[in-house]
Structure 1
Amino acid sequence: MAMTLRLTSDDEQVLAALAESQGISRQEATIRAIHEAASRRAHVQAVTDSSARARARYADLLERLGK
């Protein structure tokens, strides 16, 4: 699917520098950035979910340790 990405001149410069530093096209840099952002968000969510499960599982212990 094709799409148009409108960037400010500052954003265009940042993208061009990123692509050049990695030796890839601006399109590939954009795609990689999208995938990296999605991966980071998924990781943060997984850690948040894991932490919530651990806090629920060990709530009594954590309460006793806090006293």
Structure 2
Amino acid sequence: MAATPIQDVPIATEPIRLGQFLKLSGLAEDGVHARELVEAGEVMVDGRAETRRGAQLRRGQVVAVHGRRARPVG
């Protein structure tokens, strides 16, 4: 089975906090949802579980939630 496509999400400044990126990319509905996803261990960054909502993302890092993937781009 092929991997799902990665959504490129333009960001104005780098780095961006994971919680902000989840909202911006549409992987989370809002800040509360982003926090819940992170706390539940459902967010992967570059293939590793990330449990810090304030983790700093750089351009090109891949964030995955429930099979959907997105990455910040410049």
State the TM bucket, normalised to the shorter chain.
under 0.3
More helix, by proportion: 1
TM-score, normalised relative to structure 2: 0.23
Based on CA coordinates, which of the two structures has the bigger radius of gyration?
1
TM-score, normalised relative to structure 1: 0.25
More strand, by proportion: 2
